[in-house]
Amino acid sequence: MSKIIVITSGKGGVGKTTTSAAFATGLALRGNKTVVIDFDVGLRNLDLVMGCERRVVYDFINVINGEANLNQALIKDKRVENLFILPASQTRNKDALTLKGVARILEELKKDFDYIICDSPAGIEHGAIMAMYFADEALIVTNPEVSSVRDSDRIIGMLSSKTRRAMQKMPAIKEHLLITRYEEKRVNKGEMLSIKDVQEILAISLLGVIPESLEILKASNSGIPVILNKETDAGQAYLDIVARFLGEEPPQRKKKGFFSRLFGI
Amino acid sequence: MKYKPVLELKGSLLTLMVLNLFNSDNELIAKALAEKISKAPDFFQQVPIVIDLQAVEDNQAVLDLSELVKLLRTYGLTPVAVRGGNIEHNEIALNMNLGILNNIKSPAPQLTLETKVAAVPEIPAAKIIRDPIRSGQQVIAEKGDLIILSAVSHGAEILADRHIHVYGALRGRALAGINGDNKAQIFCQQLYADLLSVAGKYQVNEDFPEDLIGKSTQTYLEQDKLNIKKL
């Protein structure tokens, strides 16, 4: 049974695309046939982060409009077996995403893939709703900062009211919280919300915490998902998140428990 | 110098296309619609249309209005209003920025026998909500109490005709006695509210006594003044 997972946040710049790239790569590394779709039509970024921008010929919108078929638009990742990217269009806008078109493509992808990752655009408008509409599960990416938490709260509300599962009274979308850009030092100084604060406000289950890391910027700029760099804190943290998502209990780290390793202290 | 007004508001009778629905089966509707429109797709481009649900015979609740609106939009039509839907439909319509038009066929509700029966005083039921109320969401108990078993987020709004009870943290706005009941009260386990109001008298977070923040409290009107007290 294939699963559709939306990576969403409300606020921009919190790490949706970085997470989409890393999470999809992680699932594929574990032998799952995975496709990651860029829903940010008009601000195509995912292909950059995945390092395949020079191989984009056809895109998501071309497939929706019937100008190309899926196999022409899907880009096979060169590093990881089982990983495919469906890039967004740079020249169109989000209105080109129609519910019918998205539904048709997701149905087609479901026949072939174990996991379909939808990289949502920021905001709460049409593009974000299209990305979340058909989801079975959601990763809510949040920075430990009040405006990001507030926006995530809004998005969680929309997941439970404006999606297919909500409208057709099906079992609710399973929500996972992912806190990114976390800095233990600044939390201790009271400059940043703690994991506990964020969890208290959002009240959904925590999948993991990604520490603030210079490696992420480096990884994005070089087009290599950070999860492929197992030496880094952030890469390790994403690997653990994928393991936890697949129902495993990643090994506890030394004396301070698993969080300490995630924070890189 | 002649005074020339910048604008004026005026009622106007217009001819609008109305989509009359007789059935609530979403798939049947989609199919029938596709057939109709395929006959003259250009004719329907940018045409304003009213969705009329008055004649839906079977279970109206099954009809997925938002899906229908999206479908109409994908065909190039511009839905502008909904007529004759139930409360949920009206809410969906408002959320989608559509207008709500009055039912034309049904008789005025005051005249029906049922409302006469309902006129016998009865105790209004409380509205009980289990799920967290998220930022941007609004919950209204139009009659009676509103009871919330989990948290109310910042930026969310809860309103009740009578009392409000919140058993999680109250971070959003809580307005009790919205129809002027000055005996209404707000009870909460942890007070972090953006705003508290009883029968129109309100206080914002900044004005709350500091020692009450995070505490379980009771908010009520005393001589027309809003009072917050520790429980």
Q: C-alpha distances in angstroms, A178 versus A125, A165, A198?
A: 22, 22, 10
The closest alpha carbon to B54, from B112, B100, B116, belongs to: B100
Domain identity same for B30 and B109 = yes
Q: Are residues B89 and B149 in the same domain?
A: no
Partners of residue A173 in chain B, C-beta under 8 Å: none
CATH of the domain at B137: 2.160.20.70
Which one of B71, B97, B122 terminates a domain? B122
Q: Are residues B118 and B173 in the same domain?
A: no
Give this prediction's pTM.
0.69
* Whole-angstrom distance, CA of residue A173 vs CA of residue A154: 15
Low-confidence stretches of chain B (pLDDT < 70) are 1-2, 104-121
Q: Which residue among A98, A99, A154 places its CB closest to the CB of B135?
A: A154
Q: Which helix (H) or strand (E) holds A128?
A: helix A126-133
The last residue of a domain, from among B66, B93, B122: B122
Residue of A201, A202, A205 to mutate when probing chain B, most B C-beta within 10 A: A201
Q: Are residues B145 and B117 in the same domain?
A: no
Task: Please give the tally of structural domains in chain B.
Answer: 2
Tell me which residue in B70, B71, B153 faces A153 most closely, judged by beta carbons: B153
Residues 6+ apart with CB under 8 A from A197: A144
> Position of tokens 């890039």?
A87
Taking contacts as CB-CB distances below 8 angstroms, the residues of chain B near A124 are 136
pLDDT at A119: 98
Structure tokens at B105: 């066929």
CATH number at residue B62: 3.30.70.260
Residue B175 lies in a domain: yes
Contact A34, A117 (CB under 8 A): yes
The domain boundary, picked from B122, B140, B167, lies at: B122
Q: Mark out chain A residues that contact chain B at CB-CB < 8 A.
A: 98-100, 124, 150-151, 153-154, 156-158, 160-162, 167-168, 200-201, 203
| pLDDT tens-place string over residues A59-76 | 999 999 999 999 999 999
The DSSP output letter for B125 is P
User: Does residue B4 form part of some domain?
Assistant: no
Is A202 within 8 Å of A140 (Cβ atoms)?
yes
Q: Are residues B138 and B217 in the same domain?
A: yes
- Is-contact A117 A69, C-beta < 8 A? no
Q: What is the ipTM of this complex?
A: 0.74
Taking the C-alpha atoms of residue B173 and residue B133, their distance in angstroms, rounded to an integer, is 11
Instruction: Establish if B67 belongs to a structural domain.
Output: yes
- For B190, the domain range is 127-230
Are residues B140 and B91 part of one domain?
no
Q: Which residues of A touch B131 (CB under 8 A)?
A: 160
Does the residue B3 lie in any domain? no
Rounded distance, CA A58 to CA B70, Å? 26
- My answer on whether B114 and B136 are in the same domain is no
- Say if B42 falls within a structural domain: yes
In a domain, B2, yes or no: no
Are B132 and B149 in the same domain? yes
Q: At what angle do helices A146-159 and A126-133 cross, to 10 degrees?
A: 60
pLDDT value at residue B107: 44
Average pLDDT, chain A: 93
The confidence band for A252, taking pLDDT boundaries of 50, 70 and 90, is low
How far apart, in whole angstroms, are the C-alpha atoms of residue B68 and residue B58?
17
